[in-house]
Amino acid sequence: MDDVISGSAPTRTLGGSGLSVFPVGLGCMGMSQDYGPADDNESLATIRHAIDLGVTLIDTSMSYGAGDNERLVGRAIAGRRDEVVLATKFGILREERGGPARVSARPQDVARFCEASLSRLNVEHIDLYYLHRVDPEVPIEETIGAMAELVGAGKVRHLGVSEIGPEDLKRAAATHPITALQYEWSLWWRDPEDDVVPTARELGIGLVPYSPLGRGFLTGHDLATANLTAADDRQLDPRLQGDHLERNRAALAQMRELAAETGVTSAQLALAWLLAQGDDVVPIPGTRSRNRVAENVAAAAVSLSDKDLARLEAVASRSAWSGDRQTFAPHRTVRRATGTTNTVGGTQRDSRSSANR
């Protein structure tokens, strides 16, 4: 790989909406849940440092930490609102921090959810408001219709959806323009490329991959369950256990060697790969560290040639990785990579990990 560092990165526009953002955003979920104890002061500093470095898209949700994450983000952006494209979500309810969660997206509740988020964030409007999960009890047109009313009222600028199948995505877009689709997508989770990504592009919807670093595994750190705290939900990730872990370690080792040849980190290589999938892609890696956010931001200046991408595909192809993910989607089953579906205890196991993103 030659001359991979190409300088500053231009902004990217999500969908046909004109919403322009820095190519790499910041996911804030881990600052309040799932990945073990966090230091609020360091999290605040991380968000502010990301903004200092040019990051504009800041992503949170009403469910993260049962609202605590929105409060944290609101504190971090105080006095800097005009520098931020603020995204939050509704539709997953968590009554208390660390407690169980459920899906609820009834149209009569949407305005109330939005007002609560505005209050916690201490802002007058939300730039990008996502439906976090489709409520299986509510036609998606009704939920999107209620969200559209928020746009008309000036409470919300743009609408997004998260973890939604192609048919529901089409129905949502037919109800109101959808600016962004959020979905797990990374080098080791490629299923969205089969149908979700093509459908979004057909509809002119921007792509916002979450967990683009594989819950942290693609950073090169050994996330074997023995190395995680009891409060870290990644202990439940099948990819980090047994034979799956050994196979994934082997693929990661080759990926790290390739990254070392370029003078970039494996995390930067993973993000650069996603960015190379199209100008409509804006990944939102999560971190609680100022050093890590600087590393992620630098990936926006990494340019991969066709030859680079082919070499990466040879060592970290879709078939190189092992293990299913586990994703929060109560009472709704979707296709697995194997072609089967399974809903267990209100949690959809359609592939690889256990976060409530």
Q: Is 64 marked active-site?
A: yes
**CB-based contact 114:90 (threshold 8 Å):** yes
d(CA 200, CA 194): 11
Average pLDDT over every residue of 317-335: 59
Judging by beta carbons within 10 Å of its beta carbon (0-12, 13-18, 19+), is residue 125 exposed, middle or buried? middle
Tens of pLDDT along 70-92?
A: 999 999 999 999 999 999 999 99
Residue 177 has pLDDT above 60, yes or no: yes
CATH superfamily entry for domain 12-238+266-306: NADP-dependent oxidoreductase domain (3.20.20.100)
pLDDT value of position 36 = 62
Q: Which residue has the tokens 């609101």?
A: 74
With helix as H, strand as E and coil as C, how does the chain read?
CCCCECCCCCCEEECCCCEEECCCCEECHHHCCCECCCCHHHHHHHHHHHHHCCCCEEECCCCHHHHHHHHHHHHHHCCCHHHCEEEEEECEEECCCCCCEEECCCHHHHHHHHHHHHHHHCCCCEEEEEECCCCCCCCHHHHHHHHHHHHHCCCEEEEEEECCCHHHHHHHHHHCCCCEEEEECECCECHHHCCHHHHHHHHCCEEEEECCCHHHHHHCCCCCHHHCCCCEHHHHCHHHCHHHHHHHHHHHHHHHHHHHHHCCCHHHHHHHHHHCCCCCECCCCECCCHHHHHHHHHHHHECCCHHHHHHHHHHCCHHHCCCCEEECCCCCCCCCCCCCCCEECCEEEEEECCCCC
Per-residue pLDDT band at 322 (split at 50, 70, 90): low
Counting residues of the chain whose pLDDT is more than 70, the rounded percentage is: 80
Q: What is the mean pLDDT of residues 282-307?
A: 93
Average pLDDT (190-201) is 95
pLDDT of 259 above 50: yes
**Phi and psi torsions of 8, nearest 5°:** -70, 155
Q: What is the pLDDT of residue 293?
A: 94
User: Does the pLDDT of residue 99 top 90, yes or no?
Assistant: no
Please list the residues that pair with 206 across neighbouring strands: 180
Alpha-carbon distance 196 to 202, whole Å?
Answer: 10
Structural tokens at position 268: 């930067």
Residue 179 · residue 158 · CB < 8 Å: yes
> In the prediction, which pLDDT does 330 show?
42
According to DSSP, residue 138 is labeled S
**Residue of 64, 129, 130, 210 marked catalytic:** 64
Cα distance between residue 316 and residue 250, in whole Å: 10
pLDDT per residue as tens digits for the range 128-139: 999 999 999 999
